[in-house]
Amino acid sequence: MSRYFLHIRDGDRFIEDFEGQDYSSLDAARDDAVVSARQMMAEKVRQGEALDGQVIEIWNEAGSCVATVVFRDQLVAHKPSS
């Protein structure tokens, strides 16, 4: 298990995750960040806020940014079932 920190960058604001969370892999941390980004986007849409430039930066314990999840990239087009 490795500890990763999911920091949020929203325009000029930087919301730091001081505690972090243990994940089995970077992919697991990224999956969690994608779910979080989608939830935050849904809330922004409900409140009529812009979806522009928000990202979750995934940092490791050494203090390096190892991945970035861009909110807008997480929009998913659903195809109807055949």
Distance CA 65, CA 59 (A): 4
Instruction: Check pLDDT > 60 for residue 17.
Output: yes
Kindly state whether residue 81 falls inside one of the protein's structural domains.
no
Fill in the DSSP letter of residue 32.
Answer: H
- What pLDDT score does 76 carry? 66
pLDDT per position as a tens digit, 25-77:
999 999 999 999 999 888 888 988 877 789 999 999 999 999 999 988 887 65
CB 30 within 8 A of CB 58: yes
Domain count, the chain: 1
**Residue span of the structural domain in which 52 resides:** 2-74
Neighbours of 54 (CB within 10 A): 20
3-state class (DSSP) for residue 2: strand
pLDDT per position as a tens digit, 65-78:
999 999 888 876 54
Kindly state whether residue 21 falls inside one of the protein's structural domains.
yes
Distance CA 39, CA 1 (A): 25
* pTM of the full structure: 0.83
